[in-house]
A and B are shown apart, each in its own frame.
Chain A
Amino acid sequence: MWVAAFRSQNKNSMQSTTLILLLGFMAIAAFYFGRGRSLALVGGPGRSSALHSLPGYYGYYVAIWAALPALALLLLWVLIEPRIVVALVISDLPQSYQELSPGELNLLVNNIQNLAAGDVVSVDVDTVLQNAAAMFNGYVEKSRQMLAVLAVGLAGLGGAIAWQRINPDLRARNRVESVVRWLLIAASSIAILTTVGIVLSVLFEAIRFFQKVPLTEFLFGLNWSPQTAIRADQVGSSGSFGAVPLLTGTLLITAIAMVVAVPVGLMTAIYLAEYSSNRVRAIAKPLLEVLAGIPTVVYGFFAALTVAPWVRQAGESVGLQVASESAMAAGLVMGIMIIPLVSSLSDDAINAVPSAMRDGALGLGSTRSETMTKVILPAALPGIVGGILLAVSRAIGETMIVVMAAGLAANLTANPFEAVTTVTVQIVTLLVGDQEFDSAKTLAAFALGLMLFVVTLVLNVIGLGVVRKYREQYE
């Protein structure tokens, strides 16, 4: 039976693939039919100048009419089909099952679907379930057959209508181009809509959080301890949600990271752009980019297992109290991670300074370093500042290194040798494991996410503003 279920699933997916391939062939055929008809109408390829558009555009016109409506139907079908099938299966179930609570019904439907697909089922399989699974498969198969017929029919119909409408005055090129334009718009709006969706979902969850915890406590509270009692009879703290320690922790680690990354990255960029020979540059730049390609989780355990003990030892040898997970260790490693970002953006900014500036300064008898510090760096400064701000937002949003190396204790401190925690670490700990999705504890993650988003957004806006304000100076 399992094998049979597997086969049926397999057959379904095969049918969809075949259907898409078939539609593809129909579109190709439609292209040639359309092209052929346009040429036939004016009397052969030699007279294609009598057509409004090139013959190929008539082909594309017919192909679009054949393929697009059928594909739209396919997409719609795939989105709607599961709901209809599930509703049908439920209506076929015995009365006793239909009266279950929504949650249990949901579970039951899941089990039926799993059984139908041949997956593991969480309850004992009885006849009701078996029947329902068979029914489910039957409905799916029927629906697929219907889809195949409808899609192919629609493709044929669309193609035929478009083919019929071809005449030498049809503005085929303009129509095809407007379809292409809409496709491009659709593609570019996907990213934007996704971003908007993410922001909105974070925003709404955060608003739910602020209904439970006042905004002022979140923004100005000095104590972060998100443990709350889940049930009324449970003994537990009531939780306090002051985000200030998280923010200071984030800023402390970011500051340490920038102290490492900005001078090293900037000097690397200056060396590579102005002093190194082509050969050194050809080797050093890719190597730096390798540094950028190391996964942050690797940096994370490097920080936790290598740098943190080293910082602790070094600190203790000069008589300092150092926690085994310190802001210093996390910040140092994060700084190393960001060096390639700073150096590559600064390198771009320095290279963007016209070489006429360089020649002008050298021609006046400046040394290389005078040229660099007095002419090129001031001219490249907006780009460099923009790059640094981007690096700061990267550091603020960085998670893996701080999860592993900075610790979880929400200490309000400016001492880099103590354990601190960051906004991102707390979001991770709040959401890892089994959670109740309407407790203040879980919703706090969204509020923190919103705060992070706002901070990085403001930094990016400032960064872009700085870049734009000073950009025109040498152009």
Chain B
Amino acid sequence: MKMTAMTEVTTDNLEPPSVPPADSPGEEEHSAGIVLPDLAERPTELGETVGNIHCENPFMVAKNVDVYYGDNHAIQNVSLEIGKKEVIALIGPSGCGKSTFLRCLNRMNDSIESARVTGNITLDGKDINRKEQDPVALRARVGMVFQKPNPFPKSIYDNVAYGPRIHGLAADRAELDSIVHTSLERAGLLGEVKDRLDEPGTSLSGGQQQRLCIARTIAVNPEVILMDEPCSALDPIATARIEDLMDELCEDYAIVIVTHSMQQAARVSRRVAYFHLGLLVEVDETDKIFTNPQHKLTEDYITGRIG
């Protein structure tokens, strides 16, 4: 039911604004933005997205996405491109819709009964909300790492082997072994756990558990990895390890990370999107956002005046 509604909206509404309206003012500001604009000239109200929502090599493209939870309009008219092999950080105060947007990208909102998503999101040029799209297959291509490490109550090995098993990625035990080992190695966990793959995943420390969850996600060989505040439950050392890991992983995957830490966004991402009250306020290169934000709200947020 939900899917039909979304497809209708997609075909009806979304062809005309092929160039998102948010685009033109942002472009102007951008060209003029070499000098710091006057405070008076800068937009202070919520409205169109400023900055640049486009990127060089777009892989996932969201256009005019709206999400409703029942009567609550959770995100409004969000358009954003996500490039191949880039890390993009979504920042903003709590409840601003960044996690909701993230969950649209692999249709995790499907499991919430009252959620309704409209707008157009494409993965590699194909609408992910189209009728023929199996959400299960989509989630195999767009993996997700959650805020709280959530290893299954199984052994470390079985945790990583879970995805390859359900998707039939390994022909035999030897191949499965090699997938598990490669994934653990890429998640930087192999050295710590290779002698105790039979122990339950829950016996690891928090940081190790989160890397196990990343290994579990990589094992399915996705093209995009969504991370929903992956370090918020971890100490600074474990956080640093995960950030290093992201640096390595972005050579192969597009990574979208939701974070509350602006330092983290500055360290790991190439582009930053700032959400506020369900609207995408500003998107730009990380350096620009942190040194020369175009929107008053962005500046207030990154300088600590709000949030």
Query: Chain A interface (Cβ within 8 Å of chain B)?
Result: 277-278, 354, 356-367, 370, 374-375, 378-379, 473-474
Contacts and interface: CB of A to CB of B under 8 A. Distances in A.
Interface in B165-209: 166-167, 200, 202
B113 interface: yes
Interface string B208-239: 00000100110010000000000000000000
Contacts of A474: 152-153, 202
A367 B143 CA distance: 14
Contact of A360 (B136, B167, B213, B220): B213
A365 B148 CA distance: 19
B152 A360 contact: yes
A472 to B, nearest CB: 8
A365 B108 contact: no
B152 A365 contact: no
Contacts of B162: 361, 364, 366, 374-375
Contacts of A366: 136, 162, 166
A379 B153 contact: yes
A366 B220 CA distance: 11
Given A360-B152, A361-B152, A473 B200 contact: yes
Given A360-B151, A360-B213, 14 more contacts: A361-B152, A362-B108, A362-B139, A363-B145, A363-B146, A364-B139, A364-B216, A365-B138, A365-B139, A365-B166, A365-B167, A366-B136, A374-B166, A474-B152
Contacts of B167: 365
B137 interface: yes
Contacts of A365: 136-140, 143, 163, 166-167, 220
B106 interface: yes
A363 B143 contact: yes
B134 to A, nearest CB: 9
21 contacts: A277-B113, A359-B146, A359-B150, A360-B151, A362-B139, A363-B108, A363-B143, A363-B146, A364-B139, A364-B216, A364-B220, A365-B137, A365-B139, A365-B143, A365-B163, A365-B166, A365-B220, A374-B162, A374-B166, A379-B152, A474-B153
Given A365-B140, A365-B220, A473-B200, A357 B166 contact: no
Interface string B95-109: 000000000001010
Question: Which of A358, A365, A379 has the most chain B CB within a 10 Å cutoff?
Answer: A365
Contacts of A354: 150
A222 B220 CA distance: 61
A364 B146 contact: no
A356 B148 contact: yes
A311 B65 CA distance: 60
Interface residues of B, number: 29
B279 interface: no
Contacts of A370: 166
Question: Which of A356, A358, A361, A364 has the most chain B CB within a 10 Å cutoff?
Answer: A364
A364 B136 CA distance: 8
B131 interface: no
A378 B151 CA distance: 13
A228 to B, nearest CB: 57
A359 B108 contact: yes
A364 B146 CA distance: 11
Contact of B150 (A277, A278, A360, A378): A360
A365 B166 CA distance: 8
A151 to B, nearest CB: 62
Given A356-B146, A473-B200, A364 B154 contact: no
A365 B162 CA distance: 10
Nearest to B151: A360
Nearest to A353: B153
Contacts of B216: 360, 364
Question: Which of A277, A356, A357 has the most chain B CB within a 10 Å cutoff?
Answer: A356
A364 B113 contact: no
B165 to A, nearest CB: 8
A277 B202 CA distance: 31
A370 to B, nearest CB: 5
A378 B153 contact: yes
A357 B139 CA distance: 15
B111 interface: yes
B144 interface: yes
A65 B113 CA distance: 59
A358 B145 CA distance: 13
A149 B108 CA distance: 76
Contacts of A375: 152, 162
A356 B148 CA distance: 8
9 nearest A-B pairs in the assembled complex, by CB-CB distance: A365-B140, A363-B144, A356-B150, A473-B153, A365-B139, A474-B153, A360-B150, A364-B163, A379-B153
Contacts of B202: 473-474
B35 to A, nearest CB: 45
Question: Which of A354, A359, A379 has the most chain B CB within a 10 Å cutoff?
Answer: A359
B152 A363 contact: no
A375 B148 CA distance: 17
Nearest to A470: B153
Contacts of A363: 106, 108, 139, 143-146, 217
Contacts of A367: 136, 166
A357 B152 contact: yes
Contacts of B200: 473
A278 B139 contact: no
B163 A378 contact: no
Nearest to B147: A356
Nearest to A360: B150
Given A378-B154, A379-B153, A362 B146 contact: no
B163 to A, nearest CB: 4
A367 to B, nearest CB: 5
Contact of A357 (B111, B138, B150, B217): B150
Contacts of B213: 360
B233 to A, nearest CB: 11
A364 B166 contact: yes
A365 B222 CA distance: 10
Nearest to A473: B153
A347 to B, nearest CB: 18
B161 to A, nearest CB: 11
Contacts of A361: 152, 162
Interface in B121-159: 136-140, 143-146, 148, 150-154
